[in-house]
């Protein structure tokens, strides 16, 4: 019995399964709304299966402490360790902005209209107000960390446009609308390499930023970043390259989201949380 496994064959098997499921849903579900739901649920289920358990995946609306809402987002990857409350009403999740790692628009085709539409959806999340507060880890008190970037992406079955055309559409998305990663599983995946994107900014140890200053810095980060390059995968490994790049972003570029300041949410009900506990 061999003590090795063919990773290429295993990855190809994962992609073949995903392609078959997406294509089946597209071919046999005729109602537009149901077809869209089936595509979203397929991607949600797949990411739930393969991402580490620390990441939650759902369709959701993102909220902030000021009561502002994002658009409804097809797929949200979020945290429940440092953002412990998620509301659910009539089947819709309401997730605090502080807990969001990534947001994706799910469509059948990767084309200009859907790329622009995804940028608008991503912007509706990134513009929300986020908080950051102290945290105790292994008995040590740590000051509020900088707000993390929120990944924005698009997930589709196929595309009929060239890499060059896709690049042109992606480069036109500026500031909060910018896309980081995407996959047209029948054809290719891509990620956008932005200049100096991993190290957003460092807060000096002797500096205490207000929530407003934290948000001003993250908005400035998005407004200033520029595209360095756009990398495309080969057709037969689009799904696994997307997944590996997404996981790399989550674990090595973002790490852990900032801890939510619950006192800012308590203001909505005129309640003051005891800060001295």
CA distance linking residue 269 with residue 265, whole number of Å: 8
Give a yes or no: residue 128 inside a domain: yes
Q: What is the pLDDT of residue 26?
A: 63
pLDDT single digits (tens) 213-251? 999 999 999 998 899 999 998 877 888 889 989 999 999
Confidence of residue 100 (pLDDT cuts 50, 70, 90): very high
What does the pLDDT read at residue 64? Answer: 94
Q: 1-32 pLDDT, tens per residue?
A: 567 655 566 666 676 676 766 666 665 555 55
Looking at the structure of the chain, the number of domains it has is: 1
The two tokens of residue 4 are 């090795």
User: If we measure between CA atoms, which residue out of 273, 272, 277, 268 comes closest to residue 67?
Assistant: 268
Q: Count CA within 13 A, CB hemisphere, residue 52.
A: 10
3-state secondary structure of 130: coil
Task: Of 114-118, 230-234, 236-240, 259-263, give the range with the top mean pLDDT.
Answer: 114-118
Answer whether residue 105 shows pLDDT above 90.
yes
- Which token pair is 15? 């992609």
Domain that holds residue 188: 50-268
Q: What percent of the chain has pLDDT over 70?
A: 81
Report residue 88's pLDDT band, with 50, 70 and 90 as the boundaries. Answer: confident
HSE-CB at 203 with a 13 A cutoff on CA atoms is 21
Joined together, the tokens standing for residue 96 give: 């605090």
pLDDT tens-digit map of 36-58: 678 888 899 989 988 988 999 99
Instruction: Please give the mean pLDDT across all residues of the chain.
Output: 85
Residue 164 confidence (pLDDT): 95
Higher pLDDT among residues 73 and 199, named by residue: 73
pLDDT digits 0-9 by tens, 136-164: 777 787 788 889 999 999 999 889 999 99
Which residues participate in catalysis according to the annotation? 74, 105, 107
Burial class (CB in 10 A: 0-12, 13-18, 19+), 129: middle
Residue 14 falls within a domain, yes or no? no
- For residue 16, tell me if it sits in a domain: no
Cα–Cα distance, 13 to 19 (Å, whole number): 10
User: Chain-centre distance of CA 118, in angstroms?
Assistant: 12
Nearest CA to 190 among 200, 177, 198, 180?
180
Please list, residue by residue across 162-194, b when 16 or more beta carbons sit within 10 angstroms of its beta carbon and e when fewer do: eeeebbebbeebeebbbbbbbbbbbbbbbbbeb
Answer whether residue 183 shows pLDDT above 90.
yes
Q: Please determine, for residue 89, whether its predicted confidence score (pLDDT) is greater than 90.
A: no
Backbone angles phi, psi at 93, to 5 degrees: -85, 140
Lowest mean pLDDT of 9-18, 74-83, 119-128, 225-234, name the range.
Answer: 9-18
Residue 59 has pLDDT above 90, yes or no: yes
Cα separation, 193 vs 132, in Å, equals 27
């Amino acid at each position: 019995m061999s003590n090795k496994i063919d990773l290429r064959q295993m990855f190809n098997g994962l992609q073949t399964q995903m392609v078959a499921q997406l294509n089946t849903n597209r071919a046999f579900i005729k109602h537009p709304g149901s077809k869209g739901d089936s595509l979203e649920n397929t991607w949600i289920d797949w990411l739930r299966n393969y991402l580490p358990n620390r990441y939650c995946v759902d369709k959701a609306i993102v909220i902030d402490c000021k009561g502002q809402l994002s658009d409804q987002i097809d797929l949200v990857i979020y945290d429940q360790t440092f953002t412990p409350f998620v509301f659910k009403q009539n089947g819709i999740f309401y997730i605090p902005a502080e807990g969001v790692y990534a947001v994706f628009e799910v469509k059948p085709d990767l084309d200009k209209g859907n790329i622009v539409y995804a940028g608008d959806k991503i912007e509706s999340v990134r513009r929300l107000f986020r908080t950051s507060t102290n945290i105790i880890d292994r008995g040590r008190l740590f000051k509020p960390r900088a707000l993390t970037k929120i990944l924005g992406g698009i997930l589709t079955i196929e595309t009929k446009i060239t890499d060059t055309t896709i690049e042109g559409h992606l480069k036109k998305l500026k500031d909060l609308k910018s896309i980081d990663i995407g996959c047209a599983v029948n054809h290719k995946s891509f990620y956008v390499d932005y200049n100096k994107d991993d190290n957003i900014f460092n807060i000096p140890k002797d500096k205490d930023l207000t929530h407003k200053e934290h948000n001003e810095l993250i908005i400035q980060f998005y407004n200033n970043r520029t595209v360095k390059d756009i990398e495309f995968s080969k057709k037969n490994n689009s799904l696994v390259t997307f997944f590996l790049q997404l996981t790399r972003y989550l674990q090595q570029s973002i790490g852990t989201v900032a801890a939510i300041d619950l006192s800012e949410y308590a203001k909505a009900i005129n309640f003051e949380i005891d800060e001295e506990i």
